[in-house]
Amino acid sequence: MSDKFIINPTGPLRGDVYISGAKNAVLPVLAATLLTGQDCVVQNVPRLSDVESMCGLLASLGAGTQWDAASGSLIVRAGGLNLCEAAYEWVGKLRASFLVIGPMLARLGRAKVPLPGGCAIGSRPVDLHLKGLAALGADIDHTHGYISVSAKKLTGAKIYLDFPSVGATESIMMAASLAEGQTIMENCAVEPEIVDLANFLNAAGADIRGAGTDTVKINGTRELRGVDHTVIPDRIEAGTFMVAAALTRGDIHLTNVMADHLKPVTAKLKEVNIHVTETETGLRVYHDPSQEVIAADIKTLPYPGFPTDMQSLFMSLMATAQGTSIITETVFENRFMQVGELKRMGADIKIESRSAVIEGVRRLAGAQVQASDLRAGAGLMLAALTAEGTTELSGTEHIDRGYCALETQLNQLGADIKRVIA
């Protein structure tokens, strides 16, 4: 049994919130620490279940991890890396665990990794990871749910990605950093987390240019050194609190944010009559009571388009907006799993292929609902803040994968959320 959240409606949320380090930046950086035998210090690390799982995986491979609670940093000592096989008990818990395959191959010459787990939001194949590693000279074997890769030497190559996959871009970039010669990747993902990983690798002695564009050039080096690196703020956590301000018609000031990373979210909030202004220390998101929150159409796209991770959160917002909204999901084919639960709360939503048609209602109603994945759970949590009556939300373990005590942060802004321990 999992914990439950008991959520009662409140008025507008107000106050300041500090945004944590980005989960989707921390996980690849932790994988990259396996490329060096020297100690690495990673700052601004959120204490999430996904991060704990990645630490467990690193430890199972022979790398030591140590939290420094005072500074919020994580020390990784991979000098004792001694296993080439990743344990299923860790890899099955999160998708990003597959990212260790490139660093293990580059440093040890071989790796064996189970197919990864994570949220059930649709197909996320690893074929592009393997295509890139094969181009660098790896032999690949796929048997009994495991991927085995080996190479006496990795050699730079020209690689074109059929799709701008974030994970594949990261895997290939890490492996190529220790390959002989130059690697040129085309049609790369351009997410801020890619740039953050490149910054970590370059600080460690890699030679990577073009991260954040669709063409990345990596000149391989013989070895990497230890580094002290601070990860970027979490743009999805920031977006979550921006939607919380909008949904509750509140006024929230976010600190430790990078406004440039939030442009698609900011633009869409402004379109629905939510104000977003930059301050000296962050972003202020607030609602003017004289203006109705109105409907808008949304289409998810790879960065710098509207992020798929924000889709379920905006669906909760559009469920109480004035008018009809259409949300089209183009990234994952199974990411409308929150729709049935929102309908239990009184939302008027119809699914048509990969689009959801949402007729705004005046108010949602509290109900017993289940989080199916991380972002769907966060969207339901925010919807419950404005619902009439009490909402009982189960599946909290999904939410804990991506947020540090989200209920505590929301309560500090005026929410009424209690966690019931199973």
Residues annotated as catalytic (active site), given as ranges: 119
Beta pairing partners, 6? 392, 418
One-letter amino acid at 341 equals E
Q: Which DSSP helix (H) or strand (E) runs through 298?
A: strand 298-299
- Residues comprising the chain, all counted: 422
Distance CA 123, CA 118 (A): 11
Please count the CA atoms within 13 angstroms of the CA of 80 that sit on its side-chain side: 10
Question: Are 258 and 233 in contact, with CB atoms under 8 Å apart?
Answer: yes
From residue 270, how far is each of 51, 97, 254 by CA, in Å? 33, 36, 16
Angle of helix 235-247 relative to helix 311-318, nearest 10 degrees?
0
Phi/psi for 15 (5° steps) reads: 135, -165
| Secondary structure letter of residue 20 according to DSSP | P
136: which residues sit within 8 A by CB, 6+ positions away?
A: 151, 154, 155, 156, 157, 159, 172, 175, 176, 179, 183
